[in-house]
Amino acid sequence: MAVTRHLPTVRSVIAEAKANLSPRLLDYVEGGSSGESSLAANRAAFGLWSFDPDMLTGLSRPRLGIELLGMTLRMPVFASPFGYDKALHPAGYAAVARAIGEAGITGIVSESSSDSLVELAPEFAGQQGGVQVALVAEDEHVLGFEERAAAAGYRFLCFTDAPTRAWRERMRENGLDLNRYYGQGNYGPGGASRHALDELMNFTQPRWDWKRLETLAAKMTLPWVLKGVVSARDARRAVDAGAAGIYMSAYGGRNLDGMIAPLRRLEEVRAEVGPDVPILIDSGFRHGTDIAKALALGATAVGVGRLMAFGLAAGSHEDPSLGARTILQHLHDELESVMGSLGCETVEQIDRHHVVPAQP
Ligand SMILES: Cc1cc2nc3c(=O)[nH]c(=O)nc-3n(C[C@H](O)[C@H](O)[C@H](O)COP(=O)(O)O)c2cc1C
C-alpha cells in the first residue's frame, strides 16, 4: 500500500503529526499531568514482561478478530476517546471515525468532541461506535447522552469519573484554552445543557457514588463500561453496579500522576471478574507487542488514545483519515506478526503462559 511506503511505521506517523502540530498543541496531545511519572510508568509496565513463545505449532496465518459487547471487531483494538479534535485537524473526529470503520474496529466519541455525537455517528461504517460521558451534574444529563447515543446507533457507553480537574502543567504554562473553541459539539441546542458543561469544567456539585451509578444504570438500554478502573475492588463494584465490561485506564498519564499502570493490575482484575466479563485497557500502548502482552494477561481489547490523536494530526488535506488509518493498519500487521511468532492462530490462543516476568 502506498500509505505504508510513505509512513512505514507507527513511529513515522507520530513524526509526521509532530511536524504538523504547534508546540502548544503538541503539549496537549503528548503531555501528562504533574511530573509526568505516570506517563513513563505506563510505558515501563510493558518491560516487566517477556514473551515465552511456542515453536512448531503447525498453525496457519493468525486471525485477529474478536467479539466485544455484541460487536464483531477485526482486531482486539479500539480507539480511546479524545476531545477537542478539530484543534488537531480541521476534519476532526469524522476522519478518525472513518478510519475506525474501515479498520472494522470500534472507537469511543468523547463528550468533548468538536462535532456532536449525532453528527459523527454516520462516519462509523457499520455503526460500531461508543460514547464517553463523565458522571457529573444531574442524572438527566447522563441519560440524555445515552438517549442521543442510542438513537444515533451507538452500541455502548463509556462512563468516566471526573471529580476534579487534572493538574496539567504544560497546559497551565502554555495557557491554551481548547474548550472554548473545540470541545462543545455535544452541548447547546439539541445536545446537553450548558449547565452540565459548566459542571464538567468547574466541579461544584458533590461527586457521584456507586449507588447512584447503579440506580441510573438500571434506567439505561445501552450496555456500559466504566473507564478508569485499576483495582480488583473497583472492578467488582462496577460489575455489581451493572457494568457490561471493565475499562482499565490511567488516562494515558493525563489525570492522577504517580498512579499504578493499569497493565500491572490486569491479571488481578481478570481473576476478580472471571473469564466472561470483557476487559478493555489503555494507557501506553504503542506496539503490537504491547497489545499481545495485555491479551496474554487477560485483556479483551486494547485502546489507543495518543496514537489516534497523532493519527488525526498526521492526516493530509486531501486524505484526513490517512494517519489514523495507517496507524491501525500497522497495529494490525504487527500484531499479526507477533501472534505468528508466539505460535497463536487466534486471539483466544494468546494466554497467560505466553508471558513471564522479565528478569531484573
Ligand atoms: C489529546 C487527548 C485527549 C483526551 N481526551 C479524553 C476525553 O475527552 N475523555 C476521556 O475519557 N479520555 C480522554 N483522553 C484519554 C484517552 O481516552 C486514553 O485513556 C489515553 O490517551 C490512553 O493512553 P495513551 O494515550 O497512552 O494511548 C484523551 C487523551 C488524549 C491523548
Write down the pLDDT at residue 290.
98
Please check whether residue 296 is in contact with residue 355, taking contact to mean a CB–CB distance below 8 angstroms.
yes
User: Amino acid identity, residue 135?
Assistant: L
**Does residue 157 form part of some domain?**
yes
Instruction: Report the CATH number that the domain containing residue 31 is assigned in CATH.
Output: 3.20.20.70
Write down the pLDDT at residue 4.
57
If one residue of 26, 30, 39, 82 were mutated to test the ligand 1 pocket, choosing by the most ligand atoms within 8 A of its CB, it would be: 82
Separation of CA 302 and ligand 1 centre (Å)? 13
Q: Across the chain, what does the average pLDDT equal?
A: 95
Counting from 1 in the atom list of ligand 1, the atom nearest the Cα of 306 is 25
Counting from 1 in the atom list of ligand 1, the atom nearest the Cα of 252 is 23
Write down the pLDDT at residue 24.
95
Give the pairing type, strands 77-79 and 301-304.
parallel
Give the pairing type, strands 77-79 and 71-73.
unpaired
Q: pLDDT tens digit string along 89-125? A: 999 999 999 999 999 999 999 999 999 999 999 999 8
**Does residue 168 form part of some domain?**
yes
Separation of CA 32 and ligand 1 centre (Å)? 10
Q: Is the pLDDT of residue 2 over 60?
A: no
**Does residue 202 form part of some domain?**
yes
* Residue identifier of the C-alpha nearest atom 10 of ligand 1: 81
Q: What are the cell numbers at 199?
A: 459542571
In angstroms, the CA 132 to CA 117 distance is: 10
Helix (H, G, I), strand (E, B) or coil at 162: coil
Q: pLDDT tens digit string along 39-78? A: 999 999 999 999 999 999 989 999 999 999 999 999 999 9
Q: What are 10-13's contacts with CB under 8 Å, separation 24+?
A: 10/286, 10/287, 10/307, 10/327, 10/330, 10/331, 13/307, 13/310, 13/311, 13/314, 13/323, 13/326, 13/327, 13/330
**Does residue 355 form part of some domain?**
no
Write down the pLDDT at residue 176.
86
Residue 182 banded pLDDT, cuts 50, 70, 90: very high
Please check whether residue 224 is in contact with residue 158, taking contact to mean a CB–CB distance below 8 angstroms.
yes
Write down the pLDDT at residue 230.
98
Tell me the Ramachandran region of residue 108: left when phi exceeds 0, alpha when psi lies from -120 to 50, beta otherwise: beta
Q: Domain of 266?
A: 10-177+197-350
Residue 1 banded pLDDT, cuts 50, 70, 90: very low
Mean pLDDT of all residues in 164-187: 89
Q: Is the pTM of this model over 0.85?
A: yes
Q: Is the pLDDT of residue 161 over 60?
A: yes
In angstroms, the CA 92 to CA 101 distance is: 15
**Does residue 312 form part of some domain?**
yes
Q: pLDDT tens digit string along 15-48? A: 999 999 999 999 999 999 999 999 999 999 999 9
The total domain count for the chain is 1
Report the share of the chain in percent with pLDDT over 90.
89
Write down the pLDDT at residue 360.
65
Please check whether residue 118 is in contact with residue 148, taking contact to mean a CB–CB distance below 8 angstroms.
yes
DSSP string, 31-94: --STT-HHHHHHHHGGGGEEE-PPP-----S-B--EEETTEEESSSEEEPP---GGGT-TTTHH
Mean pLDDT of all residues in 312-338: 98
Write down the pLDDT at residue 79.
98
**Nearest Cα to 78, choosing from 51, 118, 109, 46?**
109
**Does residue 356 form part of some domain?**
no
Counting from 1 in the atom list of ligand 1, the atom nearest the Cα of 284 is 26
**Nearest Cα to 88, choosing from 183, 191, 10, 158?**
183
Residues within a 6 A CB radius of ligand 1? 28-29, 42, 80-83, 110, 112, 132, 160, 227, 249, 251-252, 254, 282-285, 304-306, 309
Q: Is the pLDDT of residue 11 over 90?
A: yes
**Nearest Cα to 123, choosing from 142, 159, 155, 98?**
98
**Does residue 114 form part of some domain?**
yes
Q: Is the pLDDT of residue 3 over 60?
A: no
**Does residue 190 form part of some domain?**
no
In angstroms, the CA 108 to CA 173 distance is: 29
Separation of CA 77 and ligand 1 centre (Å)? 15
